[in-house]
């Protein structure tokens, strides 16, 4: 039976984070713009919906839907606009993963747009040859070594060619206009520039774009990026061959090999080995989605090299085997935290690029393996961390059989963004894209207006799995493991939920906790997104302050869970689907400055 959308009264959040197409360049004029449009975190109605972190991006997607485009067209238009207004999280210099529900065929498809390592990469990519030790993270990040071949343009083109109705030129038009005419700087944009001030200041192109006069753009001024507008126009005219076999790609390669270091900068910046041949060899790949069944619902996610679908799926299977109920929120959260740790142990041990690593995906997502892992969770104690990975060998007659391994913590950048869209025909997109760290590798491509990614730092720098093989070491043409977790939930073959989040490795726990909040604890989707979060990744536990001080947080602390406080975890967007085409689009009410949700025909539920 189809479920109905749970609706609660939600306050409209007004903030300075919208994007008005107004005025001359703030870099040149320093003028104060007119007030930006308000962001609305929740919207309900018909005709399809869009939810992103940014009002301009959401509006771009909605405008496409209102002019007859579908969910794929809207997702690409919104993502391209985020490349303008959220350039430190996403853009054509990065990559991502897209999950699509085709209403006509009632089938879920996915595109792997993950970046790839150049042919010159080896397992010593991030090892200092002078010392034989791993490079410090910042030295690896701020370099040409960290740049993977971008996958975002190829993802857009493949999605549009497969399921879209608009051309690439048409869906890039809204973003081109925003880049050309400008958008209003909000506090998040200013802070992200300020956080990268030292890095951006060391590169001429980044300094000139983001530090006019030596300081970040002021909140309320108008920021323009005419170079990016021209880059989008080039892609619109020539298609992605401009990047993968043209002048745009040649400029990327030159930047990787010859970083635009500013005179007087005292930073050592290692060049990378990417070539135009690496760009020409890139493909955005169609992959079969992951699928698990949870409470009779089909949960689809992204398969490796993303670990999102496998880790969220395994954790849900563990929770299904364990059994949780909304009558005991503390017990449910206890199980959620422990299931996350167990699934992360298995992720780190077994998941990598399936073209180069034998990933036991079927066994990781089997209910038998989940039962063997679930038996380790105890209500009267907590597991010592880090837990060892399990043994997904098909024989699940024993409780708590462990692989012989001493895992170590791995690092993954937090900066990403997520787009959720739907249309009047019932098609749905959950799309997460990224350039890795906030600000990527810190280098703007000269004359092109976008930052390069540092995605290759998602590889293990050195082996992390003790005496066992590490599935995530660099190699030629390999795609680094990701935690990106775009997720679509079907009820009897039709969409119930679509969601995703930024946050590095916390993406997985953000999506998982939101599913538990909505499907197990009975929260509405807006409440499930807004609720305080905790993250257990088989390392030190993290929690937002509101979670630590909540009754459930205090009860968990009394059981022995020890949380490190972090300001915020994730920045989610999602859509829930009701009867007769009704949709509820939801974004963060406050995290990362609050998100933006819109529907084509706003209307209260009847």
Q: Kindly list the catalytic residues.
A: 416
Q: What residue has token string 């990519």?
A: 125
Rounded CA-CA distance 555/549 in Å is 10
Residues 6+ apart with CB under 8 A from 365: 290, 291, 292, 310, 313, 314, 317
Nearest to 510 by CA among 330, 308, 323, 373: 308
Rounded CA-CA distance 558/550 in Å is 12
User: Residue 591 gets which letter from DSSP?
Assistant: G
Residue 237: exposure state from Cβ atoms within 10 A (0-12, 13-18, ≥19): exposed
Cβ atoms of 572 and 42 closer than 8 Å:
no
Rounded CA-CA distance 26/106 in Å is 47
Rounded CA-CA distance 160/314 in Å is 31
Length of the chain: 606
Give the largest CA-CA distance in the chain: 71
Q: Where would I find the beta strands (DSSP E) of 221-321?
A: 222-223, 285-287, 290-294, 297-301
DSSP-derived 3-state class of residue 497: strand
Query: 7-17 b/e with 16+ CB inside 10 Å = b?
Result: beebeebebbb
């Amino acid at each position: 039976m189809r479920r109905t959308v749970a609706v609660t009264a939600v306050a409209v959040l007004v903030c300075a984070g919208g994007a008005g197409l107004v005025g001359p360049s703030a870099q040149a004029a320093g003028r104060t713009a007119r007030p930006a449009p308000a962001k609305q975190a929740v919207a309900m109605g018909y005709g399809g919906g869009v939810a992103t972190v940014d009002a301009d991006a959401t509006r771009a997607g909605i405008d496409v839907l209102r002019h007859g485009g579908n969910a794929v067209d809207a997702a690409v238009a919104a993502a391209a606009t985020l490349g303008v207004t959220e350039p430190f999280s996403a853009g054509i210099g990065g990559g991502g993963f897209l999950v699509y529900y085709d209403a006509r065929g009632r089938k879920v498809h996915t595109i792997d747009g993950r970046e790839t390592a150049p042919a010159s990469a080896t397992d010593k990519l991030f090892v200092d040859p002078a010392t034989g030790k791993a490079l410090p993270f910042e030295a690896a990040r701020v370099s040409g070594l960290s740049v993977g071949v971008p996958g975002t343009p190829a993802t857009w083109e493949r999605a549009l060619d497969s399921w879209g109705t608009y051309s690439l030129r048409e869906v890039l038009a809204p973003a081109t206009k925003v880049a050309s005419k400008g958008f209003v700087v909000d506090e998040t944009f200013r802070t992200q520039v300020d956080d990268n001030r030292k890095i951006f200041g060391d590169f001429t192109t980044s300094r000139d774009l983001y530090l006019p006069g030596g300081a970040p753009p002021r909140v309320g001024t108008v920021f323009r990026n005419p170079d990016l507008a021209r880059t989008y126009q080039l892609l619109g005219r020539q298609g992605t061959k401009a990047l993968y076999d043209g002048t745009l790609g040649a400029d990327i390669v030159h930047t990787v090999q010859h970083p635009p270091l500013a005179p007087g900068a005292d930073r050592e910046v290692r060049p990378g080995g990417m070539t135009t041949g690496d760009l020409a060899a890139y493909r955005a790949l169609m992959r079969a989605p992951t699928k698990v069944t949870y409470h009779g619902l089909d949960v689809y996610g992204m398969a490796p090299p993303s670990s999102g679908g496998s880790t969220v799926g395994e954790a849900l299977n563990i929770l299904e085997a364990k059994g949780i109920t909304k009558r005991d929120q503390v017990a449910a959260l206890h199980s959620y935290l422990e299931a996350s740790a167990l699934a992360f142990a298995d992720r780190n041990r077994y998941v990598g690029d399936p073209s180069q690593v034998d990933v036991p995906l079927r066994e990781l997502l089997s209910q038998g393996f989940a039962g063997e892992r679930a038996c380790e969770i105890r209500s009267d104690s907590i597991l010592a961390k880090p837990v060892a990975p399990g043994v997904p060998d098909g024989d699940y007659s024993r409780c708590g059989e462990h692989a012989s391994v001493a895992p170590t913590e791995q690092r993954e950048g937090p900066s990403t963004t997520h787009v959720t869209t739907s249309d009047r025909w019932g098609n749905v997109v959950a799309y997460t894209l990224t350039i890795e760290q906030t600000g990527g590798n810190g280098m703007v491509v000269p004359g092109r207006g976008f930052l390069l990614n540092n995605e290759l730092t998602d590889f293990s720098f050195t082996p992390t799995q003790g005496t066992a093989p590490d599935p995530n070491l660099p190699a030629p043409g390999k795609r680094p493991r990701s935690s990106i977790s775009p997720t679509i939930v079907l009820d009897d073959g039709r969409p119930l939920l679509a969601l995703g989040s930024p946050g590095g490795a916390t993406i997985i726990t953000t999506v998982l906790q939101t599913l538990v909040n909505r499907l197990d604890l009975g929260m509405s989707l807006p409440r499930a997104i807004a609720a305080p979060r905790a993250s257990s990744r088989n390392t030190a536990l993290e929690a937002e302050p509101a979670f630590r001080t909540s009754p459930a947080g205090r009860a968990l602390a009394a059981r022995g869970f020890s949380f490190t406080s972090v300001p915020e975890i994730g920045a989610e967007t999602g859509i829930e689907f009701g009867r007769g085409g009704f949709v509820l689009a939801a974004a963060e009410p406050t995290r990362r400055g609050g998100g933006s949700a819109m529907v084509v025909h706003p209307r209260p539920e009847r």
